[in-house]
Structure 1
Amino acid sequence: MAPMTLDSTAALLLKGYAWLPDRRRRTGGAPVRTRLLGRPAIALHGPEAVRFFYDEQHVRRHDALPGPVLDTLFGRGAVHTLDGEDHRVRKALFMTELTEPAAVAELVDMVRAEWQRAFAPPHGREVVLFDEAALVLARAACAWTGLPLTEEQTRRMAQDCVAMVDGFATPGPRHLKARRARARQEEALAGLVEEARAGATRAPATPFDAVVRHRDADGALLDARTAAVELLNIVRPTVAIAWFVTFAAHAMDRWPEQRHLLREDDGSYAEPYTETYAEPFAHEVRRFYPFAPFVGGLAATDLRWRGEHVPEDTLVLLDVYGQNHDPELWHDPYRFDPERFLRPTPHRDELIPQGGGDAKSGHRCPGEDITVAVLAALSTELARLECSVPEQDLRIPLHRVPTRPRSGFRLVPHPA
């Protein structure tokens, strides 16, 4: 009889981002077999694994996400939990209404305007960049989505979206705060959906209106609560770019030449593959810094992966953080080097900070283009911001998921 595999849930909570790469090193690069939350699990790695993982004949999402993750990060009934035609029809809502180049450009312009308003002189007061960026992003995202919120409601939205992301992967007070935040925002947004359908409010040609009138594969409108879930799946990931903005500031502080390159960027660095240095910089921030440790699904049937049996309903993990630091894919992977993206962008199944596969037909994050565009824009704004950075704790603890600099990155803006 084969020895019983020990449950690794406690080790994952203790080690965070380092857990899976450490286990993989101990196996010599072979798939990692373990148990998580009592369920048999196998962890895969590499571009070939990405293609295997995102094949719906291999891995399904329905019933794959644990309840605590649904009740904090994604929401019950979210697009992330669907498969097949149900997923394709719901995903089309995001792909056709939200990620067209004109829509992305409009959001970027709104984010820039909110940033410049937030940091307009006179200034001189110390701010926590993470908090300020989250509020800037929430203001822009809510306005762009067409949510009729007051300033006070928008501030609450920023705080709640941060809480949902911050508390999804941990037990204790952070998790309880995330649950309360989601419940509060789902209730409020469901009310707005019902008002819109009753004719009390109108927001034509906005993502809010698109969600309100969206019909699923069965031809029915989304119920108000599910519509609220999907509205949050527009706003929450946009607010979550605050993590990357804070990492961008960390990179500029640690490697000052990056700030200079972004500030002086005239488009000549990156030709012919990108328009500005800011885009390669944004890609490298997403690759280098820790955000998602892995993604998961359930084996749709009995499978074989490189000769190993994967029984149906096994939890299948895709190693995201480890792949983004794999020396077989990235030269000197623990060196921050945006120039690696001045060459043609790596294949979609190599760079996977927000998952892999095809965004249009698969489960890759539909907002990835938004993340790159907004992060590039705010990295440039940040590089051009006259400010001082006081002494503070800028360590990034890898045991904490999601992590960020301990101080949130404090800075003092100065008049230009």
Structure 2
Amino acid sequence: MRLMERLDSTVPLAARPYGLLSSRARRMNRDVYDTRLLLQKTTCMTGADAARVFYDPGLFVRAGAAPRRLSLTLFGENGVQSLDGERHRARKAMFMSLMAPDARDELRDIASRFWRERIREWEGRGQVVLYNGVSELLCQAVCAWTGVPVAERNVPAITSLLTALIDAPAAIGPRYLRGRAARRIADRWAAGHIRRARADSAAEAPAADGPDGGTAVDVIASYRDTDGRLLPPDVAGVELLNVLRPTVAVGRFVVFAALALHENPQWRHRLATEDDPELLEAFVQEVRRFYPFFPMVAARAARDFEWHGHHFPKGRRVLLDLQGTDHDPRLWERPDQFRPERFMGREPDAHSMIPQGGGDHYDGHRCAGEWITKDLMKVSVTALTRWMSYSVPPQDLRVHPWRAPAIPKSRFIVTQVTDTRVEAATGG
């Protein structure tokens, strides 16, 4: 065991972002320990109790917590992820205003329409890379929903920009450099939409406190920070991308849902034949719990404190293990098995089920888009099980633990796509 601990301690986090934190924690029989990340002393935490502490705003802050490479690719600079206190609560409230039930219904309807259009397009193709196709239709859907006009011919390019931001943070070499370049282009593109929205608003009516509702681009363009001022166009553009980018990232969950349907055909049959919303909810939740998404999140200690006998000095970077907590055997029975029934009649608490962060949606740093993630996954699973049929040819479906964010190597290829809604309508 001591030899294994020494070997485990030499594995760099970038080489095994999924599972390494919890593996080390189990070997040491503790939920918190120190290591080094990018030559900087870092504390790692795992488990539901750790998540409760991690999302305590009196103990942790986000400013300066994420490695610089994340702000240069994934998050952008000066966005909501880097804020604390009242500025964070106010900015987060803006995002949560976009998650109203009517707005979510509209996004579901738009996504359903684009799914039906894509299925008809795919019928004539020999094979379809599901990840690419779904990412593009989600890009179309979220741009239409937010009020960002994108010509159909430009959808692949905009999708590539957004997926490059998602792919880059944990990468080394060309993938990271592509993400850096994509961030610069995407920031300019998004800031341009903010400027146009403000110009259109100024031309339509006298200046006011901002629209009560409207599209996401209108809400972000008119948002006033805690100092009463409009956000600079580049910062507002970052926040617009913080709506677009995570929605396109749902494509990874959709691919994992397709993989789960492929590997668990009994669930495909149940979802195709049983009209039970609880069943669909349970399946989507288990996909989110079981498959890897982002491996961890970062914060810094706001002050000196002790937890579980471990000292946290002020300013120490701390990582919370998301994937390890979602697979913690103390929280989940047989966590390494895909078992959607575990969610039947069960609503997981905010610190045990944390694929997109923990804590409270309104006051904390839990992902504002978690609800629309589930909505879009439900639409997608319905499309995969009820609106289309397809074949899954032999391919490399391995999910490598060293690639973050994770994705099956083949991106899930399907062939012989058929629109089953057409067959149902014609009696075929």
Contact 2:170/2:405, CA 8 A, preserved across alignment: yes
1:272 aligns with none
SS in 2 for 1:155: helix
Change (3 A) 1:359 1:9: farther
2-structure distance, mates of 1:49, 1:71: 28
2:159 aligns with 158
Superposed CA offset, 1:329-361 (max 9, x none): 001101101111112211111100000000011
2-structure distance, mates of 1:161, 1:364: 21
Superposed CA offset, 1:17-76 (max 9, x none): 122122112211341211111221111122221111111111100111121100110110
Contact 1:130/1:246, CA 8 A, preserved across alignment: yes
Query: Tell me, which stretches of 5 or more residues in structure 1 are unaligned?
Result: 268-274
Which is worse superposed, 342-351 or 136-145? 342-351
1:400 aligns with 403
Superposed CA offset, 1:244-283 (max 9, x none): 000001011111111111111212xxxxxxx342111110
Verify: 1:71 aligned to 2:80, yes or no. Answer: no
Q: Per-residue deviation at 1:415?
A: 4.3
1-structure distance, mates of 2:173, 2:11: 14
2:235 aligns with 226
2-structure distance, mates of 1:153, 1:348: 38
Verify: 1:89 aligned to 2:98, yes or no. Answer: no
Contact 2:278/2:344, CA 8 A, preserved across alignment: no
1-structure distance, mates of 2:10, 2:66: 15
Contact 1:142/1:154, CA 8 A, preserved across alignment: no
Residue 376 of structure 2 aligns with an amino acid whose one-letter code is V
SS in 1 for 2:110: helix
Q: Per-residue deviation at 1:7?
A: 12
1:301 aligns with 303
Please point out which of 311, 325, 328 is paired with 1:326: 328
Q: Per-residue deviation at 1:391?
A: 0.7
SS in 2 for 1:304: strand
Contact 2:96/2:368, CA 8 A, preserved across alignment: yes
Verify: 1:217 aligned to 2:221, yes or no. Answer: no
Residue 99 of structure 2 aligns with an amino acid whose one-letter code is T
2:383 aligns with 381
Which is worse superposed, 193-202 or 330-339? 193-202
Percent identical across equivalent pairs?
Answer: 42
Q: Per-residue deviation at 1:8?
A: 7.1
Verify: 1:414 aligned to 2:423, yes or no. Answer: no
1-structure distance, mates of 2:185, 2:311: 43
Residue pairs, 1:262-277, within 5 angstroms? 262-267=271-276, 275-277=277-279
Residue 104 of structure 2 aligns with an amino acid whose one-letter code is V
Residue 231 of structure 2 aligns with an amino acid whose one-letter code is L
Tell me how large the CA RMSD over aligned residues is: 1.9
Residue 13 of structure 1 aligns with an amino acid whose one-letter code is A
1-structure distance, mates of 2:153, 2:7: 48
Change (3 A) 1:35 1:159: same
Which is worse superposed, 168-177 or 242-251? 168-177
SS in 2 for 1:219: coil
Superposed CA offset, 1:204-230 (max 9, x none): 810010001000111110100011100
Change (3 A) 1:297 1:6: farther
Q: Per-residue deviation at 1:123?
A: 2.6
Superposed CA offset, 1:175-234 (max 9, x none): 111111111111012112112222388898100100010001111101000111000000
1:336 aligns with 338
1:182 aligns with 183
Change (3 A) 1:36 1:8: farther
2:217 aligns with 208
Q: Per-residue deviation at 1:9?
A: 9.4
1:23 aligns with 24
Contact 1:6/1:35, CA 8 A, preserved across alignment: no
Change (3 A) 1:143 1:185: same
1:270 aligns with none
SS in 1 for 2:355: coil
Contact 1:278/1:376, CA 8 A, preserved across alignment: yes
2-structure distance, mates of 1:294, 1:308: 20
Please point out which of 254, 257, 262 is paired with 1:248: 257
Residue 229 of structure 1 aligns with an amino acid whose one-letter code is V
Contact 1:8/1:35, CA 8 A, preserved across alignment: no
Superposed CA offset, 1:157-176 (max 9, x none): 21111111111112211111
Query: Tell me, which stretches of 5 or more residues in structure 2 are unaligned?
Result: 1-5, 205-210, 421-428
1:290 aligns with 292
Residue 285 of structure 1 aligns with an amino acid whose one-letter code is V
